[in-house]
Amino acid sequence: MTNATHPATPGPLGHLLDNRAIEHFDEVVERGAEALRGRGPADRLFYGLSMVGDHGTVWHVIGAGRVALGQESLSTALNRSIALGLEALVLNGPIKWLFRRSRPVVDGDRPLHLRTPRTSSFPSGHSSSGIFSAMLLARTTRVKWPWYVLGAAIGWSRVHVRIHHPSDVVGGYLAGWALGRIAVRILDALDAAER
């Protein structure tokens, strides 16, 4: 199982995560997640999703693919990639600094190789960028739900691989949604100005 490491100095808002309700939520979800760990297909799926979520890689590749297939303009894909880069700067900088939560520590080896970030565990950057990118893709595509499924699955993968506490992932979903709402408004305004 996992135990959390204790940071030398939690962030100014780190105490908000140190409560029994969040601990209980994390414990319950972790027990449920354990059922899929160590199973080959589930490990390959979630470790793979976790890897392609690193640095938002999958979202940049999707944008490039949509441009190559003529499904969107290069400027639309570039604007989304720039927005994703800004989301990462805000989330991995000031937001994570506010919490500075320790990541789960895994007893034993992971079944597959995985990069372990050095930033705060809360909120999850993968789950934030997943929801953020899904919102930005949904504004320019007819079928929207696959982007949200992919974003949510990438976020969940971080629980499966034990890089994040479940509450980190929920926090990331909420941060991605909030930052996504801001980005959608800005991009909509830019599109309107170009017309």
Please give the domain boundaries of the chain with CATH numbers for all domains.
Answer: 10-102+111-194 (1.20.144.10)
Report the candidate in 57, 65, 56, 63 with the shortest Cα–Cα distance to residue 80. 63
Report the candidate in 13, 141, 135, 7 with the shortest Cα–Cα distance to residue 65. 141
Cα–chain center distance at 65: 21
Q: Which residues pair with 105 in a beta bridge?
A: 3
Q: What is the pLDDT of residues 124-179, one digit of tens each?
A: 999 999 999 999 999 999 999 999 999 999 999 999 999 999 999 999 999 999 99
What is the chain's pLDDT, residue by residue, as a tens digit (195 residues)?
Answer: 444 554 558 899 999 999 999 999 999 999 999 999 988 899 999 999 999 999 999 999 999 999 999 999 999 999 999 999 999 999 999 999 999 999 988 777 777 778 888 889 999 999 999 999 999 999 999 999 999 999 999 999 999 999 999 999 999 999 999 999 999 999 999 888 877
**C-alpha span between 70 and 175 (Å, rounded):** 31
> Sign of the CA dihedral 137, 140, 146, 152?
positive
**C-alpha span between 96 and 60 (Å, rounded):** 23
Query: The whole model's pTM is what?
Result: 0.91
Q: Which amino acid, residue 76?
A: T
User: Of all helices (H) and strands (E), which one includes residue 80?
Assistant: helix 74-90
CB-CB neighbours of 22 under 10 Å:
18
**C-alpha span between 90 and 78 (Å, rounded):** 18
